[in-house]
Structure 1
Amino acid sequence: MKVLLLVLDAAVLWKVYQWRRSPDDAPLRSVALCLLSAALSYPLAMPGGSSGIDTVAGHGTAKLLQNLLLLVTVYFLMSFYLYSADGPDARRRVRREGVVVALAAVALTVAAESVPHDVFAGSFSSEDMTVPQIAFFYIGAGLYLMYALAVAGHWTRRYARMSRRPHSTGLWMTAVALGAVAVACAIRAVIVGIRATGASVPDLVMTAVAFLLVVSILLFVAGVTYSGARARTSAVRLWLRHRCAHRRLAPLWELLTEAYPKHVLPPASSTLWDRMRARGVHRRCHRRIVECRDCLIDISPHLADEEDGLPLREVDPRELAVRLRRASALIGQGVPAPRQAVPLAMGDGGDREADVRQLIAVSDALRTAA
């Protein structure tokens, strides 16, 4: 739970930072306030946080505050979708929904404060639902949560239909999770109604509803993070591939730039941070590829072998590595280029990735020969 709280706090800080940079972005503001409300309610659900507040303000205060913050959380979640998709009427609709959540919060507060604190000190499973105020509190909170989550789930499904993978996958997971939580809230409201009459509900049903809530919340977290996690995974894989390509191109680059130092481009930055961050790694890899290609154009006239008659672009990477070493030695001796430049070390695919693979193959051959 502490790890989840730290993750939630980090998300809150990030969104608040983005909100500060774009204060007029209404959907971003809604997301930031949604996460902030959730982060504030989370400690109240923990034994240490609830007991501390109950000791100061009386039994049941932590539960009341937690439920009010949950109402605010789902209200801002719903507001995000309304701002994003409801067009010109979004602001008016958000204000109307704000009045609804305010009335719900006042009603729950009145219900909680109208009973003795010791009566309101239990949990959902142990609370005496025959007390009208207690039953009203749980039914009212559950129905509003069900309503707000159902609206958010409706907009999520609409976005999922309009999106492509991987975004649609995460949105469908989120939509299913929101719908499942709404169903769980509705079931809990029915359970409260049954217990308010004095009847009992089997423990198996209570356990099943609690399990549904836990699974739905986990699915919701997975859904909202799916697209970002996929993007981060792809970014890390690209970072590793470019870092590996930069390292594997080192033998070829060193040989060529020793012969043609004029083609070495000035680095944008030489700090350790720039060498490790994604943008710096991509830039350094691209610069090395460009430098190798430019040098190969200049050195190509020294590589032609009249005996085999093969075009240079069809020469095996190992043979090309041998010729590159001979050509580099000739250039060091000042031998002029005997003919015009020709293309070489180009892939069959005709794209940049195929050319890079050929460059790496030649560089690996130089490394092996050395």
Structure 2
Amino acid sequence: MIAYITVSGMILAFSAALSWKFFQLAKAPRDMALRAVTLCLISAACSFVLAIPPFAGVIGSLGGPGAPRLVQNLLVLSMVYWLMCFYLYSAAADTASGNRRARREATLLAIAAIALTVTTAAAAGHDKGGNFRGANVHDPALAAFYLTANLYLVYALSMALRWTCAYARASQRPLATGLWLVAVSIGAMATSCAIRTVLTALLWQGRTVPPTVTLVSSLIIAIAVPLFLVGFSYPGVATRIAAERLRRQHRQMYRRLGPLWELLNEAFPEHTLDRTPTEQWRERLIPLGMHRRYYRRVIERRDGLVRISPLLAPAQQAQQDKSRWADDLADQLCTALHREQPRPASAQAVAVAMPSVQSLEDDARQLAELSDAVRRRVLAGSHQID
């Protein structure tokens, strides 16, 4: 049951990560670094899925006992190759330079892949299949297979680890956090591959190796792969969480500004920035729709206050109790707007309800306090009527 939950969780995690990368790649199809990351995750996902017994059994029935091991290792080598390509393209001055370096690394990958295929074919007559713990590494062909795979992995992972640490030191959170997680996972995988290289050489020479050491190397890989996926996914997930938190804050501020918006919009409907009717459902489905409505409402309300400010400024300047500025200004505002002619005479506009720090968010909070005061005044008026 635990194994089933683990496998299902990993498949779900790979699906989510790949969906996000496909979405990013669709928006930037010429981004070679992003393409390399996507191919790296595809290789990792295929390596994990094809190692599951039902799929491994099908591959074994078609290609022989050693075929599942060959396919999985080729995919793992492909994963670390594309991981290196990500850094090669990221550090390259242009795409052509990145392509040249990627082709040089592809030559080493091709040599390793050919060696794995040849050694698998050489061991076909007496290969019983299985993973590293179950394989007969005393056989020269299988020993050469694992030595080739692990040596290439140690090389590629060491190069990727060096670049990952360099990028992590130069990055800011949350990207730096994700890169450090990736660095830990890459370091763990490189350590496991180095251990397996030594174990393979010892077993090939007829030495005995404690089963615990082999088990530990397998456990390191089992932990490192999910950590690798988490590290790659962390920056995007953290960014989306932060974006959703900001969207929720803007939604709350948008609603708080409602009473002030209704009051000023009734008096100055010409200040509405977007008077073209749009479908509400479409506006709500657009990710940036909430931010657009929020900023529009803030700007519209500030324009309305600037318009009415000549009638409010004298009373506001005479006000001494700063703790009740919002309630007093709301009273003045409602009084001025409910005159028979609410439009002020042509006079110089003055600052009304201005925040101490000049920023859009601080301006919105100041307007929200005034809007809260307008809401309290409206509620108090309705209770008096009742």
TM-score calculated relative to the size of structure 1: 0.88
CA contact (8 A) 1:302 1:339 kept: no
Structure 2 counterpart of 1:322: 331
CA contact (8 A) 1:312 1:343 kept: no
Asked if 1:278 is matched to 2:275, the reply is no
Going from structure 1 to structure 2, the CA distance change for 1:191 and 1:273 (only over 3 Å counts) comes to farther
Structure 1 counterpart of 2:100: 92
State how many pairs are aligned. 368
Structure 1 counterpart of 2:51: 45
Structure 1 counterpart of 2:312: 303
Going from structure 1 to structure 2, the CA distance change for 1:362 and 1:17 (only over 3 Å counts) comes to closer
* Structure 1, 71-80 or 14-23: larger mean CA deviation: 14-23
Asked if 1:147 is matched to 2:155, the reply is yes
SS for the counterpart of 1:278 is coil
Structure 2 counterpart of 1:124: 132
Query: Aligned partners of 2:169, 2:317: CA distance in 1, in Å?
Result: 60
Alignment of 1:86-235 (within 5 A): 86-87=92-93, 89-116=97-124, 119-235=127-243
- State the Cα distance separating 1:246 from its structure 2 match: 0.6
Structure 1 counterpart of 2:362: 354
SS for the counterpart of 1:125 is coil
Structure 1 counterpart of 2:273: 265
Choose from 70, 73, 76 the match for 2:76: 70
Q: Deviations over 1:277-312 (max 9, x none)?
A: 331111100110011111112223333565982289
* Structure 1, 181-190 or 78-87: larger mean CA deviation: 78-87
Going from structure 1 to structure 2, the CA distance change for 1:346 and 1:308 (only over 3 Å counts) comes to closer
CA contact (8 A) 1:312 1:342 kept: no
SS for the counterpart of 1:258 is helix
Unaligned ranges ≥5, structure 1: none
- State the Cα distance separating 1:216 from its structure 2 match: 2.4
- State the Cα distance separating 1:191 from its structure 2 match: 1.6
SS for the counterpart of 2:288 is helix
Query: Aligned partners of 2:245, 2:27: CA distance in 1, in Å?
Result: 30
CA contact (8 A) 2:143 2:204 kept: yes
Structure 1 counterpart of 2:4: none
Amino acid at match of 1:334: Q
Going from structure 1 to structure 2, the CA distance change for 1:59 and 1:311 (only over 3 Å counts) comes to same
- State the Cα distance separating 1:232 from its structure 2 match: 1.6
Unaligned ranges ≥5, structure 2: 1-6, 380-386
- State the Cα distance separating 1:18 from its structure 2 match: 5.4
Query: Aligned partners of 2:74, 2:46: CA distance in 1, in Å?
Result: 11
- State the Cα distance separating 1:150 from its structure 2 match: 0.8
Identical amino acids, percent of aligned pairs: 41
Going from structure 1 to structure 2, the CA distance change for 1:206 and 1:311 (only over 3 Å counts) comes to same
Query: Aligned partners of 1:217, 1:157: CA distance in 2, in Å?
Result: 18
Query: Aligned partners of 2:123, 2:361: CA distance in 1, in Å?
Result: 71
- State the Cα distance separating 1:16 from its structure 2 match: 5.2
Query: Aligned partners of 1:153, 1:306: CA distance in 2, in Å?
Result: 66
C-alpha RMSD of matched pairs (Å) = 2.8
Query: Aligned partners of 1:366, 1:76: CA distance in 2, in Å?
Result: 59
* Structure 1, 249-258 or 317-326: larger mean CA deviation: 317-326
CA contact (8 A) 2:60 2:66 kept: yes
- State the Cα distance separating 1:126 from its structure 2 match: 2.0
Q: Deviations over 1:37-90 (max 9, x none)?
A: 223322211111101221233222122111111112211211222232244754
CA contact (8 A) 1:71 1:145 kept: yes
Amino acid at match of 1:272: W
Going from structure 1 to structure 2, the CA distance change for 1:310 and 1:107 (only over 3 Å counts) comes to same
SS for the counterpart of 2:318 is coil
- State the Cα distance separating 1:267 from its structure 2 match: 5.1
* Structure 1, 181-190 or 80-89: larger mean CA deviation: 80-89
Going from structure 1 to structure 2, the CA distance change for 1:289 and 1:173 (only over 3 Å counts) comes to same
Query: Aligned partners of 2:370, 2:67: CA distance in 1, in Å?
Result: 71
CA contact (8 A) 2:123 2:141 kept: yes
Query: Aligned partners of 1:355, 1:343: CA distance in 2, in Å?
Result: 12
Going from structure 1 to structure 2, the CA distance change for 1:359 and 1:307 (only over 3 Å counts) comes to closer
CA contact (8 A) 1:249 1:359 kept: yes
Asked if 1:61 is matched to 2:67, the reply is yes
Asked if 1:29 is matched to 2:38, the reply is no
Q: Deviations over 1:4-51 (max 9, x none)?
A: 324434544554565566555433332333233223322211111101
Asked if 1:287 is matched to 2:296, the reply is yes
Query: Aligned partners of 1:25, 1:300: CA distance in 2, in Å?
Result: 51
Structure 1 counterpart of 2:3: none
- State the Cα distance separating 1:271 from its structure 2 match: 3.5
